[in-house]
């Protein structure tokens, strides 16, 4: 069986020394890339070549490379996580591109996600939003109740689980023209709002998390649905509607 022809590509990559530096697009040529390589493996190959030439490698975030952690988040040709659907950047393979293609690679663009270096952004704003309300009161005195002993409607349990699959990659923010974090915030609220264990802090949770998101500088929901389209885990817009209902109820009670 003949081996698939390698790809010769032009890479237009955003380079920025630090948050205060002025960044710019740099052009790189890379040759004979296997179509079966992942996008991150292609960047690894590029960095190896740059190091061999005594040049500074491109900084990018990555960890699990299994579509679980979301840290590999990149704009690829203007699209969060690239041309694939329901995948993170690390799950994107070079067979999605053609020989001779020019690929633009940039970091997330949002004021609440300041650039650290090159393609890496600081997404700690998401952590602070979760800290503002992402917890439940649990009796840890030795008299805890087994969660399985609490009856929960299967639909609610399934919806809570679906919301909990949000990996906090930030694609929703990157896709939104208002850089809104509504899909992320609503997913984190929903995974508790649908379960009896989350009812104790329900009002404070939604008020505090929405307030923290505004404090971090995320914009309002644009109502265009781009966030759901680009989310690698398919988090539903229904979560935003649920968050709005929870917020209204908490605000007037």
Question: How confident is the model over 93-108, as pLDDT tens digits?
Answer: 999 999 999 999 999 9
Provide the CATH number for the domain formed by 7-117 in this structure: 3.10.20.30
Q: In this predicted structure, what is the pLDDT of residue 1?
A: 44
Give the E-state strand segments of 109-166 in sequence order.
115-117, 120-121
Q: Does residue 249 carry a pLDDT above 80?
A: yes
pLDDT at 146 > cutoff 80: no
Confidence grade of residue 62 (pLDDT, cut at 50, 70, 90)? very high
Task: Give the integer Cα–Cα distance in Å for 78 and 212.
Answer: 28
How far, in Å, CA of 191 to CA of 184, rounded? 11
In this prediction, residue 253 carries a pLDDT of: 77
Q: Where are the domains of the chain?
A: 7-117, 124-252
Q: Which of 217, 218, 219, 208 is nearest to 243 (CA)?
A: 208
Residue 157's pLDDT band, with cuts at 50, 70 and 90, is very high
- CA nearest neighbour of 104 among 130, 80, 75: 75
Mean pLDDT score of the chain, rounded to an integer?
Answer: 94
Helix (H) or strand (E) holding 206: helix 202-216
Per-residue pLDDT tens over the stretch 182-203:
999 999 999 999 998 888 899 9
Q: What is the mean pLDDT of residues 40-65?
A: 97
Residues in the chain, total: 253
81-92 mean pLDDT: 96
Average pLDDT over residues 31-47: 98
The percentage of the chain sitting over the pLDDT mark of 90, rounded to a whole number, equals: 87
Task: Give pLDDT, residue 136.
Answer: 74
Confidence (pLDDT) at 149:
77
CB 116 within 8 A of CB 18: yes
Which CATH fold would you assign to the domain 124-252? Fumarate Reductase Iron-sulfur Protein; Chain B, domain 2 (1.10.1060)
């Amino acid at each position: 069986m003949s081996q698939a022809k390698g790809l010769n590509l032009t890479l237009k990559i955003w380079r920025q020394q630090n948050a205060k530096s002025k960044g710019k697009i740099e052009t790189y040529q890379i040759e004979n890339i296997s179509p079966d390589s992942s996008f991150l493996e292609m960047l690894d190959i590029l960095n190896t070549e740059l190091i061999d030439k005594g040049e500074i490698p491109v900084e990018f975030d990555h960890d699990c490379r299994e579509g679980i952690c979301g840290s590999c988040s990149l704009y690829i040709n203007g699209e969060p996580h690239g041309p694939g659907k329901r995948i993170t950047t690390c799950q994107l393979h070079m067979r999605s591109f053609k020989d001779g293609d020019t690929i633009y690679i940039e970091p997330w663009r949002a004021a609440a996600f300041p650039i650290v270096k090159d393609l890496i952004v600081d997404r700690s704003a998401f952590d602070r939003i979760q800290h503002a309300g992402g917890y439940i009161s649990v009796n840890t005195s030795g008299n805890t109740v087994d969660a399985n002993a609490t009856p929960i409607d299967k639909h609610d349990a399934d919806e809570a689980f679906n919301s909990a699959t949000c990996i906090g990659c930030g694609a929703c923010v990157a896709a939104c023209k208002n850089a809104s974090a509504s899909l992320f915030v609503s997913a984190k609220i929903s995974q508790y709002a649908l379960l009896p264990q989350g009812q104790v802090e329900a009002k404070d949770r939604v008020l505090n998390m929405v307030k923290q998101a505004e404090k971090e500088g995320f914009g309002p929901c644009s109502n265009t649905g781009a966030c759901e389209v680009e989310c690698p885990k398919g988090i539903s817009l229904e979560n935003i509607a649920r968050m709005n209902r929870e917020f209204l109820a908490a605000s007037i009670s």
